[in-house]
Amino acid sequence: MTGTLVLAGTPIGDVADAPPRLAEELAAADVVAAEDTRRLRRLTQALGVRPAGRVVSYFEGNETARTPELVEALTGGSRVLLVTDAGMPSVSDPGYRLVAAAVDAGVRVTAVPGPSAVLTALALSGLPVDRFCFEGFLPRKAGERLGRLREVAAERRTLVYFEAPHRLRDTLAAMAEVFGGERRAAVCRELTKTYEEVRRGPLAELVGWAAEGVRGEITVVVAGAEEAGPEQLDPAELARRVAVREEAGERRKEAIAAVASAAGLPKREVFDAVVAAKNAERR
């Protein structure tokens, strides 16, 4: 008889938001795998519960090595509870490797739903919520960050990002450069905490606000691109957009198709632009 892996959501700020089942699972689990055992200790003290099982660390630096150990416990019949510092495990936090390994081993995986910074920020943003995509953290290097943003410049769904406070101004500036300074956005800071703040406005305006320095946990929500007819792009720009996607790892065929779709143009027109650019480089 195999055990059960339980993914438990933890408060993103206010400990009172903890789901009632969280305390029950903490008390009943055979093994509690925590991203930070010190934070877990503070959480259990606040909830007035004492884990009865073994507590182990499970974070980015050791999840590859520790996953087999936890799978062994699961296949041996243990109930393993996975908690991260805040929010749901696996969402920009440790957890995916363990879930995938547990599924492969035929272990039951369930969850204790809890607070989510992604959904909370999305709901508070004032931007469309019927369709959205979560992009996690952007690359730290400026060039890679711009490349990632260009990949979704034509995305019509609302975009959600996590960001560190010391990189917020540069990220907003890059978004304004790629998406346009008039694109609507919301910066959600310290959600559910004492100094919660949601700053809404065009990206260009938010860049100026963030230049003064921002503290706390940050989630950025950006409106999707508005529907438009075929773009008026010269061949050089079409070739440049394909090159950006290729540098990001896409095959040329897929990059051409994506650029053509985003611009509302036939793939043949984008292909011809790429060929013309290559021929110009050889001269």
pLDDT in tens, 234-246: 899 999 999 988 8
Phi and psi (nearest 5°) for 187?
-105, 120
Distances in whole angstroms, Cα of residue 267 to Cα of each of 233, 239, 253, 279? 14, 12, 9, 18
- Return the residue matching tokens 């204790």: 112
Q: 4 and 79 in contact (C-beta within 8 Å)?
A: yes
Which residue in 28, 109, 34, 103 sits closest to 66, CA to CA? 34
Looking at residue 234, its pLDDT comes to 87
- Return the residue matching tokens 């933890």: 10
Taking the C-alpha atoms of residue 23 and residue 12, their distance in angstroms, rounded to an integer, is 16
Regarding predicted confidence, which is higher, 116 or 249? 116
Q: Residue 166: is its pLDDT beyond 80?
A: yes
pLDDT digits 0-9 by tens, 83-128: 999 999 998 889 999 999 999 999 999 999 999 999 999 999 999 9
Which residue in 186, 132, 128 sits closest to 159, CA to CA? 132
Looking at residue 111, its pLDDT comes to 96
* pTM given for the model: 0.76
Q: Residue 231: is its pLDDT beyond 70?
A: no
Taking the C-alpha atoms of residue 19 and residue 121, their distance in angstroms, rounded to an integer, is 19
Taking the C-alpha atoms of residue 256 and residue 7, their distance in angstroms, rounded to an integer, is 40
- What structural domains does the chain harbor? 4-115 (3.40.1010.10), 118-222 (3.30.950.10), 235-282 (no CATH)
Q: Is 112 helix (H, G, I), strand (E, B) or coil?
A: strand
Q: Residue 229: is its pLDDT beyond 60?
A: no
The HSE-up count of residue 155 (CA atoms within 13 Å, CB side) is 20
Q: Is 187 helix (H, G, I), strand (E, B) or coil?
A: strand
- Return the residue matching tokens 């440049």: 240
Looking at residue 260, its pLDDT comes to 87
E-assigned strand segments in 102-183: 108-112, 132-137, 158-163
Instruction: Give the chain's radius of gyration (CA, Å).
Output: 23
Stated as kind and residue range, the H or E segment containing 92 is: none
Distances in whole angstroms, Cα of residue 228 to Cα of each of 154, 185, 244? 10, 19, 22
Distances in whole angstroms, Cα of residue 212 to Cα of each of 132, 169, 182, 200? 29, 9, 20, 16
Which residue in 32, 25, 62, 64 sits closest to 47, CA to CA? 25
Stated as kind and residue range, the H or E segment containing 152 is: none
| Mean of per-residue pLDDT scores for the chain | 93
